Amino acid sequence: MLERTLRKNRTEVTFVLPADTPPGPVSVVGDFNGWQPGAHTLRPRKDGKRAVTVELPSKGAHSFRYLAAGDYWFNDESAGDHDGPNSRLHT
């Protein structure tokens, strides 16, 4: 699930997943972090889910995927758009 908060010149995008699906550590990897695994690792939230927030320029499009333990790559179905094998979000 994606949560967006609009700011003056940027959009804060929070990537949210259930606490244990998939199990183990998960990071969001995309063109905004040079596709670097571990740069944005999801952390537990008080509501029982896990999340990470990334600041992105407004009025842009970004490709991303999630990377879980065991080299398990997967998309965010709530993104609503795809760029080849990747999820795509618009800010």
Percent of the chain with pLDDT over 90: 81
- Rounded to whole angstroms, the Cα distance separating 83 from 73 reads 15
Cα angle 34, 24, 66; round to 5: 30
The answer as to whether 89 is a domain residue is no
Full domain range(s) for residue 27: 2-78
The answer as to whether 67 is a domain residue is yes
Asked whether the predicted pLDDT for residue 9 surpasses 90, the reply is no
The answer as to whether 71 is a domain residue is yes
Write the CATH number for 7.
Answer: 2.60.40.10
The answer as to whether 65 is a domain residue is yes
Which whole number is the average pLDDT over 41-49?
96
The answer as to whether 84 is a domain residue is no
CA 69 to chain centre: 15
Asked whether the predicted pLDDT for residue 79 surpasses 90, the reply is no
Cα angle 88, 90, 91; round to 5: 140
Output 70-77 pairs: Cβ under 8 A, ≥24 positions apart.
70/24, 72/22, 74/22, 76/1, 76/2, 76/15
Domain count, the chain: 1
